[in-house]
Structure 1
């Protein structure tokens, strides 16, 4: 299943930069790279999402400057 990384400069529904990869490892590297590059900005939200078979997006990891990294348990 595809994995997505979303970078937002502000709360939803602000515009987002997104990327999609078939490899979770590649998406994880991009997620970490965005944290390194933009994670110190107060308005940044970075998410790693997994796309389900029916097209829903589930947040796997999330980063904000205030809360750091948050990981969602997988079912």
Structure 2
């Protein structure tokens, strides 16, 4: 009976050791997934900024001249009413 108890304790200890490893792997994978998602969002924002800056109108002055942006901030407030 002592041998059986030792065998059960040893198998329980092995199982307990496996579980933290699985948790570490899962946490590591989750961390990698989050980092990948954050990187993809950052790249998308950079691409959007690049396209906005290098599109048809390359500067804010050109947008104002084309009439897309008001020259005076008060004009923007007035156009909202």
- Give the structure-2-normalised TM-score: 0.23
- Structure with higher strand content: 1
- Structure with higher helix content: 2
